[in-house]
Structure 1
Amino acid sequence: VQQIREQYRSHTYEVEHTTETIALQHHFELLQTLPTKHQSYVSLIKIPQDALNNALLQQLIPQTSIIRFEEKLPDMQQIFIEVVGKASMVNEVSHSN
Protein backbone atom coordinates (compact mmCIF):
# COMPACT_ATOMS: atom_id res chain seq x y z
CA VAL A 1 0.00 0.00 0.00
CA GLN A 2 2.82 2.45 0.86
CA GLN A 3 4.44 1.80 -2.53
CA ILE A 4 1.17 2.59 -4.33
CA ARG A 5 0.68 5.77 -2.29
CA GLU A 6 4.20 6.93 -3.17
CA GLN A 7 3.64 6.15 -6.86
CA TYR A 8 0.67 8.57 -6.88
CA ARG A 9 2.25 11.24 -4.69
CA SER A 10 1.41 14.83 -5.57
CA HIS A 11 4.56 16.48 -4.15
CA THR A 12 2.41 18.45 -1.73
CA TYR A 13 3.57 19.28 1.78
CA GLU A 14 1.74 20.50 4.86
CA VAL A 15 3.86 22.93 6.85
CA GLU A 16 2.85 24.28 10.25
CA HIS A 17 4.67 27.52 11.05
CA THR A 18 4.48 30.60 13.27
CA THR A 19 4.06 33.53 10.85
CA GLU A 20 0.89 34.39 8.96
CA THR A 21 2.50 34.92 5.56
CA ILE A 22 5.36 33.23 3.76
CA ALA A 23 6.94 34.05 0.40
CA LEU A 24 7.98 31.30 -2.00
CA GLN A 25 10.20 31.34 -5.08
CA HIS A 26 11.52 28.88 -7.67
CA HIS A 27 8.27 27.28 -8.78
CA PHE A 28 7.06 26.40 -5.27
CA GLU A 29 3.29 26.91 -5.17
CA LEU A 30 1.50 28.07 -2.04
CA LEU A 31 -1.92 26.42 -2.31
CA GLN A 32 -3.44 27.61 0.97
CA THR A 33 -2.65 28.95 4.43
CA LEU A 34 -5.04 28.57 7.36
CA PRO A 35 -4.76 29.54 11.04
CA THR A 36 -4.78 26.79 13.66
CA LYS A 37 -6.20 26.80 17.18
CA HIS A 38 -2.65 26.86 18.56
CA GLN A 39 -1.58 30.35 17.40
CA SER A 40 0.17 28.98 14.34
CA TYR A 41 -0.60 28.56 10.63
CA VAL A 42 -0.73 25.56 8.31
CA SER A 43 0.26 26.02 4.68
CA LEU A 44 -0.22 23.55 1.87
CA ILE A 45 2.69 23.84 -0.56
CA LYS A 46 3.27 22.03 -3.86
CA ILE A 47 6.86 21.58 -4.98
CA PRO A 48 8.14 20.70 -8.47
CA GLN A 49 8.64 16.99 -9.05
CA ASP A 50 12.42 17.40 -9.38
CA ALA A 51 12.80 19.69 -6.33
CA LEU A 52 14.19 18.58 -2.99
CA ASN A 53 12.40 19.05 0.33
CA ASN A 54 15.49 20.82 1.63
CA ALA A 55 15.14 23.56 -1.00
CA LEU A 56 11.68 24.38 0.36
CA LEU A 57 12.92 24.32 3.95
CA GLN A 58 15.82 26.62 3.04
CA GLN A 59 13.29 29.20 1.82
CA LEU A 60 11.03 28.86 4.85
CA ILE A 61 13.55 28.81 7.72
CA PRO A 62 14.65 32.48 7.41
CA GLN A 63 10.97 33.58 7.37
CA THR A 64 9.33 31.54 10.13
CA SER A 65 9.74 28.84 12.75
CA ILE A 66 8.74 25.42 11.44
CA ILE A 67 6.57 23.42 13.83
CA ARG A 68 5.70 20.54 11.50
CA PHE A 69 6.71 19.49 7.97
CA GLU A 70 4.85 16.56 6.42
CA GLU A 71 4.36 15.20 2.92
CA LYS A 72 0.68 14.68 2.12
CA LEU A 73 0.48 11.27 0.46
CA PRO A 74 -2.90 10.40 -1.07
CA ASP A 75 -5.05 7.80 0.63
CA MET A 76 -6.31 4.77 -1.30
CA GLN A 77 -9.69 6.42 -1.98
CA GLN A 78 -8.00 9.44 -3.61
CA ILE A 79 -5.83 7.11 -5.72
CA PHE A 80 -8.89 5.11 -6.81
CA ILE A 81 -10.71 8.28 -7.87
CA GLU A 82 -7.67 9.46 -9.84
CA VAL A 83 -7.21 6.11 -11.62
CA VAL A 84 -10.91 5.73 -12.45
CA GLY A 85 -11.04 9.34 -13.66
CA LYS A 86 -8.09 8.78 -16.02
CA ALA A 87 -9.60 5.52 -17.29
CA SER A 88 -12.94 7.17 -18.06
CA MET A 89 -11.20 10.01 -19.92
CA VAL A 90 -9.32 7.46 -22.07
CA ASN A 91 -12.62 5.67 -22.74
CA GLU A 92 -14.32 8.91 -23.80
CA VAL A 93 -11.48 9.79 -26.18
CA SER A 94 -11.39 6.33 -27.77
CA HIS A 95 -15.19 6.27 -28.26
CA SER A 96 -15.27 9.72 -29.84
CA ASN A 97 -12.81 8.69 -32.58
Structure 2
Amino acid sequence: MQLTPREFDKLIIHMMADVALKRKEKGIKLNYPEAVAIISAATLDGARAGKTIDEVTSEARKVLTKNDVMEGVADLIPMVQVEAVFTDG
Protein backbone atom coordinates (compact mmCIF):
# COMPACT_ATOMS: atom_id res chain seq x y z
CA MET A 1 0.00 0.00 0.00
CA GLN A 2 1.43 3.34 -1.04
CA LEU A 3 0.45 6.30 1.13
CA THR A 4 1.09 9.95 0.49
CA PRO A 5 2.84 11.83 3.30
CA ARG A 6 -0.50 13.39 4.29
CA GLU A 7 -2.24 10.00 4.38
CA PHE A 8 0.63 8.60 6.44
CA ASP A 9 0.29 11.48 8.93
CA LYS A 10 -3.45 10.82 9.26
CA LEU A 11 -2.78 7.13 9.83
CA ILE A 12 -0.29 7.90 12.60
CA ILE A 13 -2.76 10.32 14.24
CA HIS A 14 -5.48 7.68 14.25
CA MET A 15 -3.14 4.98 15.56
CA MET A 16 -1.99 7.25 18.39
CA ALA A 17 -5.58 8.20 19.16
CA ASP A 18 -6.59 4.55 19.31
CA VAL A 19 -3.85 3.76 21.83
CA ALA A 20 -4.71 6.88 23.84
CA LEU A 21 -8.42 6.03 23.95
CA LYS A 22 -7.60 2.56 25.28
CA ARG A 23 -5.47 4.13 28.01
CA LYS A 24 -8.25 6.60 28.81
CA GLU A 25 -10.73 3.72 29.14
CA LYS A 26 -8.38 2.11 31.67
CA GLY A 27 -8.38 5.33 33.70
CA ILE A 28 -4.84 6.31 32.76
CA LYS A 29 -4.36 10.06 32.50
CA LEU A 30 -3.20 11.15 29.06
CA ASN A 31 -0.02 13.03 28.20
CA TYR A 32 0.25 15.86 25.67
CA PRO A 33 0.76 13.80 22.46
CA GLU A 34 -2.07 11.44 23.40
CA ALA A 35 -4.48 14.29 24.10
CA VAL A 36 -3.63 16.07 20.86
CA ALA A 37 -4.01 12.81 18.91
CA ILE A 38 -7.51 12.21 20.29
CA ILE A 39 -8.62 15.77 19.56
CA SER A 40 -7.08 15.66 16.07
CA ALA A 41 -8.65 12.30 15.21
CA ALA A 42 -12.06 13.50 16.37
CA THR A 43 -11.68 16.57 14.18
CA LEU A 44 -10.62 14.58 11.12
CA ASP A 45 -13.46 12.09 11.64
CA GLY A 46 -16.00 14.90 11.99
CA ALA A 47 -14.83 16.52 8.76
CA ARG A 48 -14.92 13.15 6.99
CA ALA A 49 -18.49 12.61 8.24
CA GLY A 50 -19.57 15.83 6.55
CA LYS A 51 -20.00 17.97 9.66
CA THR A 52 -19.48 21.72 9.49
CA ILE A 53 -16.45 23.47 10.92
CA ASP A 54 -18.59 24.90 13.73
CA GLU A 55 -19.99 21.46 14.61
CA VAL A 56 -16.56 19.85 14.64
CA THR A 57 -15.02 22.68 16.66
CA SER A 58 -17.79 22.47 19.24
CA GLU A 59 -17.52 18.68 19.53
CA ALA A 60 -13.72 18.69 19.66
CA ARG A 61 -13.81 20.95 22.72
CA LYS A 62 -15.79 18.27 24.56
CA VAL A 63 -13.72 15.21 23.61
CA LEU A 64 -11.51 15.45 26.72
CA THR A 65 -11.74 17.11 30.11
CA LYS A 66 -9.02 18.29 32.48
CA ASN A 67 -9.63 15.12 34.48
CA ASP A 68 -8.67 13.01 31.45
CA VAL A 69 -5.14 14.42 31.17
CA MET A 70 -2.05 14.66 33.35
CA GLU A 71 -1.59 17.75 35.46
CA GLY A 72 -0.56 20.75 33.35
CA VAL A 73 -1.37 19.15 29.99
CA ALA A 74 -4.61 21.09 29.50
CA ASP A 75 -2.69 24.36 29.84
CA LEU A 76 -0.31 23.26 27.07
CA ILE A 77 -3.16 22.87 24.57
CA PRO A 78 -4.80 26.27 24.03
CA MET A 79 -5.56 25.34 20.42
CA VAL A 80 -5.15 22.38 18.07
CA GLN A 81 -4.79 23.06 14.35
CA VAL A 82 -5.82 20.28 12.00
CA GLU A 83 -5.78 20.31 8.21
CA ALA A 84 -9.05 18.74 7.10
CA VAL A 85 -11.42 19.08 4.16
CA PHE A 86 -14.85 20.36 5.16
CA THR A 87 -17.91 20.42 2.93
CA ASP A 88 -18.70 23.99 4.00
CA GLY A 89 -15.27 25.32 3.08
TM-score (norm 2): 0.30
- Return the index of the structure with the highest Cα Rg: 1
Question: Using CA pairs below 8 Å that are at least 6 residues apart, which structure has the higher relative contact order?
Answer: 1
Larger helix proportion of the pair: 2
TM-score (norm 1): 0.28
